[in-house]
Amino acid sequence: MKTRKCKVLVIGAGPGGYVAAIRSSQLGLDTVIVEGERAGGTCLIRGCIPSKAMIHAAHKFHDLAAHAKKGGHMGISIPGPAELEMAALKGWKDDIVDRLNKGVEHLLKSSGAELITGWAEFKDAKTVTVGNLQIEAEFVILANGSVPIELPFMKYGDGVISSREALDIDKKIEHLVVVGGGYIGLELGIVHRMLGAQVTVVEAMDSVLPIFDKELRRPLELFLKKNKVKVHTGVFAKGVEKMKNGKLKLNFIDKNSKEDSDMQSVEADMVLVTVGRRPRSEGLATTGIALDESGFVKVNEQCQTNMKGVYAIGDLTNMGEMLAHVASFQGEMVAEIIAGKNRIYNPVAVPAIVFTEPEIVSVGMSPEEAKDAGHPVLVGKFPLAANGRSLTQEAERTGGFVRVVAREDDHRILGIQAVGTHVSELVGEWTLALEMGALLEDIAGTIHAHPTMTEMTHEAVLATLGHAIHIA
């Protein structure tokens, strides 16, 4: 067996791992990164990027359908209905993924990091084998990521799929049932609805997207109703049966019911299970690294594990949300810590985005969270319907708005949320405002370009101060 010694060994080339490897190499550290599948990880290969490509394609198809209606739309009409070829759509999506995968590989190579493809098996916390190669490192960064949770009574296969398989569907489906009304299930469910499939959502909680407050959820719930996405809340999925006609039958029951006779069912071509993700921490038993009861690696504010010189970042850890941008931030931070810089993970704000239609964005505290934390609260809102750029993009049709939460006494901004088409692109300014401790007056005194949707941030702040210009 060959042996490769290095300063830094990164396990996993997802958005946390490859950023950690690139930054380590930039800092002059001999770095090896091991990836079992393709560089880019869940986000790039089978998550964020391909799902956003599918979302964009679904919007295009949906818009073309509007132009094909009698009389057309916007003065534009096409002679007949748009046609969908799922295999071609999948090919277009895969081409984007391939380009980005090659881009990550190029960035790793250019930085000087060595990418090794294969599954790492740990001999101890700082020694792994990959095939016939043994790698020994002074420092290790675990970026193993996460995988979809599989329900024990509804195993994947035979038409029961995870988000991974949902992004590789290459044929039209008539009816998709989604188990789980969180952001992954709703994003993918809305994609297939806009592509023409019937969609039914089954959710155990009393509402979809329960992490967001009712005011933010309302426009999305109206969209689901208007577009005939059937939503069952407060129910438990109980299992899937294969029917003689080749369809699947999902059985579910009200969570408060105790009688099997109350069981309901729905037929589908496929059942998409999106009930969460779990850390990919199996295989760490030989390392001595401490895990919590849910399988997450325990880390401190510097992402250090209980083993000296071993760090863990991203979805694998109990530090922060399961978000690609969190993993990337932590990967860069850990590389700099290993190089001797003094850093800790203590962000003021982490943006969260749901790419449904309409999109939902949140950074910082909601009004209720701010009140619960003891802050005297000011709240201001501005509707998309009063913004010129929103109107020119038809973004106002979903009834969205931007909402600002601030302290009443010193006007420090505590949080900003929005719901509506295209609002995800506004979140950078909001996150920066919270990180810099901005006051309402800081944004009110900043000239925002016209006509843009960013003007809504300015107007929402003015509304919070009591003198918005473009709403009465």
pTM: 0.94
Q: Give 88: exposed, middle or buried? Use CB within 10 Å, 0-12, 13-18, 19+.
A: exposed
Residue 229 confidence (pLDDT): 97
Work out the number of other CB atoms within 10 angstroms of the CB of residue 203.
26
Under a CB-based contact definition with an 8 Å cutoff, are residues 219 and 400 in contact? yes
Residue reference for tokens 């916390």: 125
Q: Give 282: exposed, middle or buried? Use CB within 10 Å, 0-12, 13-18, 19+.
A: exposed
The vertex-426 CA angle with 422 and 431, nearest 5°, equals 145
450 classed as catalytic: yes
Distance (Å, whole) CA 350 – CA 389 = 27
Residue-wise DSSP of 241-263: EE-TTS-EEEEEEETT---GGG-
> 423: closest CA among 373, 361, 465, 352?
361
Residue 472 confidence (pLDDT): 84
The 3-state secondary structure of 188-213 reads HHHHHHHCCCEEEEEECCCCCCCCCC
Helix (H) or strand (E) holding 367: helix 367-372
Residue 73 confidence (pLDDT): 86
Distance (Å, whole) CA 235 – CA 237 = 7
Work out the number of other CB atoms within 10 angstroms of the CB of residue 152.
6
Q: Which of 325, 448, 450, 458 is catalytic?
A: 450
β-strand pairing of 114-117 with 31-35: parallel
Residue 158 confidence (pLDDT): 93
Work out the number of other CB atoms within 10 angstroms of the CB of residue 86.
13
Helix (H) or strand (E) holding 95: helix 86-111
Q: What pLDDT tens digit does each residue of the chain (472 aa) get?
A: 899 999 999 999 999 999 999 999 999 999 999 999 999 999 999 999 999 999 999 999 988 888 888 788 888 888 888 899 999 999 999 999 999 999 999 999 999 999 999 999 999 999 999 999 999 999 999 999 999 999 999 999 999 999 999 999 999 999 999 999 999 999 999 999 999 999 999 999 999 999 999 999 999 999 999 999 999 999 999 999 999 999 999 999 999 887 777 899 999 999 999 999 999 999 999 999 999 999 999 999 999 999 999 999 999 998 888 999 999 999 999 999 999 999 999 999 999 999 999 999 999 999 999 999 999 999 999 999 999 999 999 999 889 999 999 999 999 999 999 999 999 999 999 999 999 999 999 999 999 999 999 999 999 999 999 999 999 8
Computed over its alpha carbons, how large is the radius of gyration of the chain?
A: 24
Residue 320 confidence (pLDDT): 80
Helix (H) or strand (E) holding 461: helix 455-465
β-strand pairing of 401-407 with 413-420: antiparallel
The two most distant CA atoms of the chain are separated, in Å, by: 75
Distance (Å, whole) CA 40 – CA 45 = 6
Residue 65 confidence (pLDDT): 84
Work out the number of other CB atoms within 10 angstroms of the CB of residue 339.
16
Distance (Å, whole) CA 419 – CA 217 = 8
Distance (Å, whole) CA 230 – CA 148 = 24
Q: Distance between the two ends of the chain, CA-based, in angstroms?
A: 75
Q: Which domains does the chain have, with CATH numbers?
A: 2-148+278-338 (3.50.50.60), 160-275 (3.50.50.60), 352-465 (3.30.390.30)
> 215: closest CA among 471, 461, 400, 456?
400
Amino acid at site 346:
N
Distance of CA 44 to the CA centre of its chain: 11
Distance (Å, whole) CA 400 – CA 383 = 6
Residue 297 confidence (pLDDT): 98
Distance (Å, whole) CA 367 – CA 379 = 7
- For the beta sheet containing 175-179, the strands, ordered from the edge strand earlier in sequence to the opposite edge, are 160-161, 270-273, 175-179, 198-203, 230-233
Q: Give 284: exposed, middle or buried? Use CB within 10 Å, 0-12, 13-18, 19+.
A: buried
Residue 153 confidence (pLDDT): 94
Distance (Å, whole) CA 102 – CA 400 = 38
